[in-house]
Structure 1
Amino acid sequence: MSKFKFIDLFAGIGGMRIAFETAGGECVFSSEIDKYARRTYSANFNEDPFGDITGISPKAIPDHDVLLAGFPCQPFSLAGVSKNNSLGKEHGFKHATQGTMFHEIVRILEEKSPRAFLLENVKNLKSHDRGNTFQIILDTLQDPEGLNYDVCHRVIDSAGVVPQHRERTYICGFKEHNAAFEFPDILPVNGKITLKEHILDEEPDPKYTLSTKLWQYLQEYKRKHQERGNGFGYGMVDPNDPGAVTRTLSARYYKDGSEILIDTGADTPRRLTPRECARLMGYPDHFHIPVSDTQAYKQFGNSVVVPVVRQIAEAVEAVISASD
């Protein structure tokens, strides 16, 4: 059987690509605007992604079976929806998305009409702008007079496969209505992944240990917020606890590392190394990290958890194969 083809939009460093290649797919086009992310992508896939997606005609994008996109969350113009519906112009939902990155996805779906798509976003996409953003996305994708995809969605926590709480919204759609697709229950494939055995370096560089000054500041910061009844503060994990699960790794981890600190048993904890962040996101150890620590933290903090997407990719591939 020939490989199914996919495109990788807002590709970041290629986490979704790894997952879909593992499921038997072939990437025929990629796009990423950040120059540092492109450097990492190129180092791992020997391919330089196209830059600004707004600068390419959908006609120039190769035909593909599946569109992948981890797009940024942006508000839509609801006024534009009602106004354009009342004026009888092109579908109001489509008009409302103009000027956003989601609109770029819509442009390509309209022109190329792939058999399926998988979109990824933050958990809060569902509540963004009081739920209006998510509703417009669904309406646009499902519009029977427009894109007309059969769409399903789920918030998935990666803690089932890596020791990190990371909830993300996944939206999957198929041109074939009533396709036998269900989001898989995300489960570990090769046994439980623990921090100590699978994520942490045995001898991390001492430079990742917090300074006494920063550690004192973080403790004071947490104490002040706790007094006010807030939940802010650092997140310490014990590497010797086989059930330890970290907080969500964010793109701002490079600032002070406070959301995930490793208890060293000494006076001060340490932050994760970039390689440990890669493992926490499910990247293999042969994945190249050709950028500075600051950029690496941003890149992994913005990425998907690869084994989560891989299990979704396998379910998507099964539907595509069944309809061939």
Structure 2
Amino acid sequence: MTTKSLRAPASAQSVPFTFIDLFAGIGGMRLAFDSVGGRCVFTSEWNVHAQKTYADNHRDNRPLEGDITKVHTDDIPDHDVLVAGFPCQPFSIAGVSKKNSLGRKHGFEDETQGTLFFDVARVIAAKRPAAFLLENVKNLKSHDKGRTFEVILRTLREELGYHVEHAVLDGNGFVPQHRERMVIVGFRDKTSFSFSDLVLPKKGSRKLSEILHPEDGSETAEAPFTEGPFATVNPKYILTDGLWRYLQGYAEKHRAKGNGFGFGLVDGDGVARTLSARYYKDGSEILISRGEGLNPRRLTPRECARLMGYPESFRITVSDTQAYKQFGNSVAVPMFSAVAKHMMPHLAQVLATPRAA
């Protein structure tokens, strides 16, 4: 049995373009933009474990940059598309009139200073790429009572002059997982880009059976995830009696209080909850049923990679703990491949337009 690929095909409308990968993680967005013909010319990621995974899978003849806050824009190459999954932080917004009275700036340099979005904004301001794609959690819109999103959109539209569209998209259908993310796309020039005509697969059309180890010998064993002639899952991923009792008791306690907290027990016919960076702790959000009377198990890191739409060739060269964190922090690759493909004709239009002096 060969696990079905969850990656979107490369776009037939691809145009040659360059892009940079900020807050790159392990390169999920990189894979999406590679798939539509892009060439990555700069990467920044501060976490050393994510740097290792990225470097082991994206063999570039250039070093990865670390902390983007320490990189001067003169050291970032010109590029056509900026891609960033920046962390969400609150902004402190004071009234423009008050700032004027104090003789202070009230553009993005002041409003976003001290946040990681500032570093996205300063690169866009300096390099003026034809387009950008920004990704964040779905709650970005309500973060800090809506003020964070307000500043982001005002900065991108009014301060930087880009034409911006945004939408919350769910990876469910691209992968067998509920995974909602805020996606923000901007173009330097006016285009007809809209999320309304982005074709999305039917939710629930992908099942967990597509990404689970078959354990029947049809898959080659991959240590330490699977072992033996039938490539069965390593017993270390099965919950201990103590942990399984604890999770059941925890769930029952909250059910009695009318809360929805508890574990997520699923089988091959289901769709998983959102994989989180805390999965390494107890795996409670996605537990795989092994049948009645048997303790469930966690997903293996390889199954997590598949659940996020990474290709089978993707190398997992870090500890299980780090791998769980990395995939839990990553993006559903085929969903962003679809967005990148949707951007291509609009990007071609902007690249064909002479740039204003």
User: Shorter-chain TM-score: what band?
Assistant: over 0.9
SS of aligned partner of 1:98: coil
Cα displacement (A) at 1:195: 1.2
The question of 1:18 aligning with 2:31 is answered yes
- Residue among 305, 310, 318 paired with 2:332: 305
Kept in 1: contact 2:163–2:189 (CA 8 A)? yes
Q: State the distance in 2 between where 1:219 and 1:154 align.
A: 37
Kept in 2: contact 1:80–1:96 (CA 8 A)? no
Identity %: 58
SS of aligned partner of 2:94: helix
Aligned alpha-carbon RMSD (Å) = 1.6
- 1:157 is matched with 170
- 1:6 is matched with 19
| Pairing 1:210-221 to 2, within 5 Å after superposition | 210-221=239-250
Higher helix share: 1
Cα displacement (A) at 1:79: 2.3
Encode CA deviations 1:78-131: one digit per residue, 9 max, x unaligned.
Answer: 127553245454334431110110000011011000010000000110110111
Amino acid corresponding to residue 181 of structure 1 in structure 2: F
The question of 1:32 aligning with 2:54 is answered no
Encode CA deviations 1:212-267: one digit per residue, 9 max, x unaligned.
Answer: 1100000000001111111111001022x2xx111000000000000000001142
Cα displacement (A) at 1:60: 1.1
Give 5+ residue unaligned stretches, structure 1.
none
- 1:182 is matched with 194
* Matched residues, number: 315
- Residue among 228, 242, 245 paired with 2:271: 245
- How has the CA–CA distance of structure 1 residues 80 and 60 changed in structure 2, closer, same or farther, with 3 Å as cutoff? farther
Amino acid corresponding to residue 160 of structure 1 in structure 2: G
If the length of structure 1 is used for normalisation, what is the TM-score? 0.93
- Residue among 96, 101, 110 paired with 1:95: 110
| Pairing 1:9-158 to 2, within 5 Å after superposition | 9-47=22-60, 48-79=63-94, 83-87=98-102, 89-143=104-158, 146-158=159-171
- Structure number with the bigger relative contact order (C-alpha 8 A, sep ≥ 6) is 2
Greater displacement, 85-94 / 29-38: 85-94
Give 5+ residue unaligned stretches, structure 2.
1-13, 215-231, 353-357
Cα displacement (A) at 1:187: 2.0
Greater displacement, 286-295 / 80-89: 80-89
Greater displacement, 47-56 / 282-291: 47-56
Q: State the distance in 2 between where 1:230 and 1:85 align.
A: 48
| Pairing 1:199-214 to 2, within 5 Å after superposition | 199-202=211-214, 203-214=232-243
Kept in 2: contact 1:253–1:297 (CA 8 A)? yes
